[in-house]
A and B are shown apart, each in its own frame.
Chain A
Amino acid sequence: MTWRQRLLLKSQAMNIAEELSKEYIRRAGKEEFPRNTDVMMDVAATLFGLDVVFDDQGMLDSRFGDDHRIIGCLFPEGHASPWGRDKLVVVNVTPPRCCREAEPRIEAEKRRRREAGEREGILMHVCKEDTFDPRPYNKNHTIAHEIIGHYALHFRKGVGGEHFRRPTYCRNPQATRKPPLEWQADYAAGEFLMPRDKVIWILDGQQPPAVINIDDGLKKRFREYFDASQAMMELRLIYLGYKLINPVYKWADYTKQEEDRRGEVQKKLRGREQERERQERLKAAKAFADIGRKLKQGSPFDGIGDAFAGFGDPFAGLGDPFGQAFKGFDGIFSGFGGRNFRNQRRK
């Protein structure tokens, strides 16, 4: 099979999501939101022969040498998973390392307090990884992303991208710039989990590109109806073409994007102004250079002789005493190498 990066149309993702929705309804017996994880797993097994495994032992982390940066992974045909078998979708549910390490310490402290007869109180671990949300997307999203996006949309159609020789598609939520394959898979997953018509219904009929304020009410509606996390909701709304105000994620912020856009426009205008000034300076410099060239070519006194033409001979009335006197200086002037002087004398 030839692997290639290909521009996929939104309609292709929509068609695949629709097909899976039909299969889902056939299995579940009804259209339901939020989607049921077990039914999704059934659909994956029957349609594609893919098994879904939840990794709580850090197998993915150890395989990719990272502490819970991979939230899901697809191991299609011919690509063995850390467990040795292929045709597997792995969802990472391993807690971050700091939480894993804290658990035995908390248990030991509880035990100590119990033995000492102290009040146990509430002991909890505050995750150090405050810059990293380990589960920005729920497991339904991860499963749909891997199955509909990476498997049905990419792997089966031979779309490879950067994993040209290693089509094990992993997801890294830390990535600031998502590769096209990830965006496409997210879009396909969104189509399946939160269809466009349902989203419009939740937004009281507001069609894209309406400006949507992300408030608590909206978050609650999305959570209750789709079981959607903040990231899932914002991602879906952005993909549908809405403009978001007050989102949590910077990439979804419409006002910031507007500011950036305005900043870009101003930067462009400033750039144009600077360019115009630069051009003017260049013209001026060219003009000066032309004058300099002219001066070099001719005598600086060429015009001066003519200028004094009307005055006649100013020294005529003085007789010859000065004429004799200046004769001795000739040699001195020629010694300066003044070409103009010499030329003039030749003339």
Chain B
Amino acid sequence: MAEKPETFGQLLRRLRKENGDMSLRDLAGKLGVSFPYLSQIEADVAKPSEELVAKIAKLFNQDVEKLTFSARNVADQIREIKEKFPNVSMPFFRKALKDDK
């Protein structure tokens, strides 16, 4: 059975631990959000805004698009396409998603 892809919350927690075992409160302070909101994002019960995802990506030196995909719960098939064609820009995918809907 294929392993479940890492959720955005799990990814964020991993990044927080890998970068100096930052506390939830410290990270919330750095991102300018409340720690309850961050706890909800880590538990995958709240979805972060694109702005916040960009901040997280910048802070942990990560690819914004990769994080955005993870945060917006994009379907696995689209994720696979994105992985196959990494140079295709995000706006293209957004448009594709809109057209698909």
Residues of A within 8 A of B35 (CB): 54
Instruction: Give the residues from 47 to 63 in chain A that come closer than 8 angstroms, CB to CB, to chain B.
Output: 51-57
Nearest B residue to A52 via CB reads: B39
Known pairs A38-B23, A38-B24, A41-B24; A93 contacts B43 (CB<8 A): no
* Complex: A85 Cα to B42 Cα, angstroms: 13
B34 close to A (CB within 8 Å):
yes
Known pairs A38-B23, A38-B24, A41-B24; A88 contacts B45 (CB<8 A): yes
Residues of A within 8 A of B13 (CB): 45
Indicate if the CB atoms of A56 and B45 lie closer than 8 Å.
no
Indicate if the CB atoms of B24 and A83 lie closer than 8 Å.
no
Q: Which residues of A contact B (CB under 8 A)?
A: 36-38, 41, 45, 51-57, 81, 83-85, 88, 93
**Interface bits B15-27 vs A (CB < 8 Å: 1, else 0):** 0000000011000
Of A54, A81, A84, A93, most B-chain CB atoms within 10 Å: A54
Q: Interface on chain B toward A: helix, strand, loop, or mixed SS?
A: helix
Indicate if the CB atoms of A54 and B39 lie closer than 8 Å.
yes
- Which one of B34, B36, B37, B43 contacts A51 once the chains associate, using CB atoms below 8 Å? B43
Residues of B within 8 A of A54 (CB): 35-36, 39-40
Known pairs A53-B39, A93-B36; A85 contacts B24 (CB<8 A): no
Nearest B residue to A84 via CB reads: B45
Indicate if the CB atoms of B24 and A53 lie closer than 8 Å.
no
B50 close to A (CB within 8 Å):
no
Known pairs A38-B23, A38-B24, A41-B24; A52 contacts B36 (CB<8 A): no
Residues of A within 8 A of B37 (CB): 56
Known: A55-B36, A83-B46. 14 other contacts (CB 8 A): A37-B23, A38-B23, A38-B24, A41-B24, A51-B9, A51-B43, A52-B39, A52-B43, A53-B39, A54-B36, A54-B39, A56-B34, A81-B45, A88-B45
Nearest B residue to A50 via CB reads: B43
Nearest CB in chain A: distance from B94 CB, A:
26
Indicate if the CB atoms of B43 and A88 lie closer than 8 Å.
yes
Residues of B within 8 A of A85 (CB): 43-45
Indicate if the CB atoms of A51 and B23 lie closer than 8 Å.
no
* Complex: A54 Cα to B13 Cα, angstroms: 15
Nearest CB in chain B: distance from A260 CB, A:
41
Of B35, B40, B43, B44, most A-chain CB atoms within 10 Å: B43
* Complex: A57 Cα to B45 Cα, angstroms: 13
- Which one of B9, B36, B43 contacts A56 once the chains associate, using CB atoms below 8 Å? B36
* Complex: A83 Cα to B44 Cα, angstroms: 9
Residues of B within 8 A of A93 (CB): 36
Nearest CB in chain A: distance from B3 CB, A:
16
Residues of A within 8 A of B45 (CB): 53, 81, 83-85, 88
* Complex: A56 Cα to B46 Cα, angstroms: 12
Of B13, B23, B39, most A-chain CB atoms within 10 Å: B39
Indicate if the CB atoms of B34 and A53 lie closer than 8 Å.
no
Nearest CB in chain A: distance from B26 CB, A:
9
Nearest B residue to A36 via CB reads: B23
Nearest CB in chain A: distance from B6 CB, A:
14
